[in-house]
A and B are shown apart, each in its own frame.
Chain A
Amino acid sequence: MSKYTYIVFVASLCLGLVHWACSRPGVQTAAHTAVNTERAKDSVIIDSACWPESFSLGHVATEAEIQAWDIDVRPDGKGLPAGSGNFVDGQRLYAAKCAVCHGKTGKEGPNNQLVGGADVKEKTIGNYWPYSTTLFDYIRRAMPFNQPGSLSDKEVYSLTAFLLAANRIIDSTTVINAETLPKIQMPAQKYFVPDDRKGGAEVR
């Protein structure tokens, strides 16, 4: 098919002149057979040429539906809830709900080591996490591992305050809330770079 015939072809499809390409293969006549090869090729390319503007499926999300699920937190703080937390409450909560898996001081395991600076090999919040907001977001989503989604926002703020202080990123008097959390600079952020592989022959 030349470029010109292709354009006419596609245009006619949209006008509904060549009916068979919009509806999927039906009864075929001899005249159709001649263009079957082209058609097989084009059916991939022009798949959406005759689509309606909308398929009118699904329903418009209500504000309540969005609110119920929209729990993500961005590095700029968008998504952080009201409330605040502090080190003292966080320390108490940590001992009660987290220490059993992450160790008394966040270093002993058995699960992920959470506390540690440049001097330890393990990747921790202190030496590897690039954004403070991730900590709030992740704890709220996924921890405690055996009771996911059980913490209140205030408790998550407090645990965040405790873990940031334990990693010596903030001091134990800093109150953590939607204002203060995004402003905290994480020591490891400067190391992160976007994917520098570009495809092609080079091994990176």
Chain B
Amino acid sequence: MDDKSSDKSLFSQKIKRRSLLGGAATAAVVFVQTAFGKTIQKAIPESVFKPEDDPTKQLGPFPSELGGRSAFEKPVRKPSDISSRSPLQDFYGTITPSDLHFERHHAGIPTIDPGKHKLLIHGMVEKPLVFTVADLKRFPSLSRIAFLECSGNFRTGKEAMTPQEICGLTSQSEWTGVKLSTLFREVGIKPGATWFLAEGSDAAVMTRSVPVKKGWDDAIIAYAQNGEALRPEQGYPIRLFLPGWEGNANVKWLRRIELSDQPYMTREETSRYTETIRDGKIRMFSFDMDARSIITFPSYPQHIEKGWLEIRGIAWSGRGKVLYVEVSTDAGKSWHRATLQEPILDKAHTAFRYLWQWKGESTEILSRVTDETGYTQPTLKQLIDARGTDMGGYHLNPVTAWVIKSDGSVVFKPEKLR
């Protein structure tokens, strides 16, 4: 809509921007005459919109400032008091829409003015520096598609569980920012500095210690996600992003990095995000997310019909690329290679599919991934064998089985943790 247009056609009538309401609350527009005889566009609320109307007989809404989802699509996160989970079963491809990215925070989402926010890097450095967000954006930038997964991403216990409920604390974005190594180069890391503390400016002033090596390898100070500024839940205006490493260490709302010759032993790396393993030992600094996969279709509460169907899911590894995914449609007796969707990226959700003819038998379907390090996703039993019956709740990546009943209903196969 160009205000300067002199064309008298309906489409170039002077239309006030404010009248272009668009968005979820609006499903269509009508044209009404103003007191001055001008035609203006008015939004029709969604409640008036009848989907059975022939769309070729009704003029639709015009372009708007902000798009929205179709009123027929309602994917939602599943929130609890401390987190919200991505609806994995509703996704296509591998990029998580930013408003459906899982959340986990320890003291709510801070409201931060990006014009005032600063990042301080100090400690064992030659020259402690303070950067504004604008400074960070001027550095050579980098974009990278990678998953982010909470290490507490496993739920079990009942048949009526969706992929979202079982492991919806994983999401994938294209992250854009400046490499931490670029900033390390600016401040000059002193010899002997082996760890850095990353601190957020949320109400928990949340902190984690991270090995300096990760900073040199591939850590990013991210300011954007999927083509726009970070979402507030994801650390706006800046966060630490550590490809392949447990979510909690990817400190959001980042305000400070301090270089040190030892870890700080913060609450989140001692009391939390540590797990009991064999012989009463407690594993700490277990950063890498081991390889995992899950079938997202068919899954609970879907129903399938006899005939051909494409089994679909995602696979990923915090240690590298997905090498292959195997699918079993006979409860694990035989395994078949699934097709992987390219590009197969390092430390990224990778889509897989497997064509299957269901003849109405009751069975179990499963997937298991092998990553480029040669690691194959274990069963829960293998994890218990390795870590003992007292194993903690973090870093659990077991093979997930879906039970197909002869009526076509699909339920999760919960397994006993102990």
* A interface residues (Cβ-Cβ under 8 A, vs B): 47-48, 51, 54-55, 57-61, 65-66, 69-76, 123, 125, 128-131, 133-134, 137-138, 141-142, 145, 148-149, 188, 191-197, 199-204
Contacts and interface: CB of A to CB of B under 8 A. Distances in A.
B282 A191 contact: yes
B355 interface: no
Contacts of A142: 106-107, 203-206, 267
B191 interface: no
B262 A74 contact: yes
23 contacts: A51-B185, A54-B186, A58-B129, A59-B130, A61-B121, A71-B205, A72-B258, A75-B265, A129-B271, A133-B265, A137-B207, A137-B267, A138-B267, A138-B271, A148-B205, A191-B280, A192-B270, A192-B274, A195-B284, A199-B375, A201-B375, A202-B375, A204-B277
B270 A69 contact: no
Contacts of B386: 203-204
Contact of A61 (B122, B283, B288, B319): B122
A6 B257 CA distance: 36
B140 A203 contact: no
A195 B286 contact: yes
Contacts of B139: 55, 57
Contacts of A71: 205
B256 A74 contact: no
A196 B283 contact: yes
Given A55-B139, A61-B120, A148-B203, A131 B129 contact: no
B86 to A, nearest CB: 25
Size class of the contact patch on chain B: 35 or more
Interface in B237-265: 255-256, 258, 260, 262, 264-265
Contact of B135 (A58, A131, A137): A58
B282 A188 contact: yes
Nearest to A193: B281
Contacts of B374: 200-201
Given A57-B138, A58-B130, A66-B128, A123 B271 contact: yes
Contacts of A134: 265-267, 270-271
B382 interface: yes
Contact of A55 (B138, B266, B319): B138
- Nearest 6 A/B pairs, CB to CB: A61-B128, A138-B267, A58-B131, A141-B205, A195-B286, A142-B204
Interface string B386-403: 110000000000000000
Contact of B265 (A51, A74, A145): A74
B186 A58 contact: yes
Given A55-B138, A134-B271, A192 B282 contact: yes
A186 B115 CA distance: 43
Nearest to B183: A58
Given A72-B264, A193-B281, A204-B386, 7 more contacts: A48-B140, A58-B186, A70-B122, A130-B284, A142-B203, A148-B203, A192-B281
Contacts of B129: 58-61
Contact of A199 (B121, B122, B255, B373): B373
A59 B120 CA distance: 10
A162 to B, nearest CB: 17
Interface of B: 106-107, 120-122, 127-132, 135, 138-140, 182, 185-186, 197, 199, 203-207, 255-256, 258, 260, 262, 264-267, 270-271, 274, 277, 280-288, 290, 319, 373-376, 378, 382-383, 386-387
B204 A141 contact: yes
Contacts of A199: 288, 319, 373, 375
B91 to A, nearest CB: 28
B290 A128 contact: no
B256 A69 contact: yes
B378 A203 contact: yes
B301 to A, nearest CB: 31
Nearest to B269: A134
Contact of A72 (B131, B132, B197, B376): B197
A197 B290 contact: yes
Given A57-B139, A59-B130, A69-B256, A76 B262 contact: yes
A47 B182 CA distance: 11
A193 B283 contact: yes
A64 B365 CA distance: 60
B75 to A, nearest CB: 31
A203 B383 contact: yes
Nearest to A128: B271
Nearest to A62: B130
A193 B282 contact: yes
Residue among A57, A76, A145, A188 with most chain B CB within 10 A = A57
A191 B279 CA distance: 9
A137 B290 CA distance: 31
Contacts of A128: 271, 282
A199 B291 CA distance: 10
A71 to B, nearest CB: 7
A189 to B, nearest CB: 9
A184 to B, nearest CB: 13
Given A54-B186, A142-B203, A65 B270 contact: no
B207 A72 contact: yes
A65 B290 CA distance: 39
Given A55-B138, A70-B122, A72-B258, A195 B186 contact: no
Contacts of B197: 72
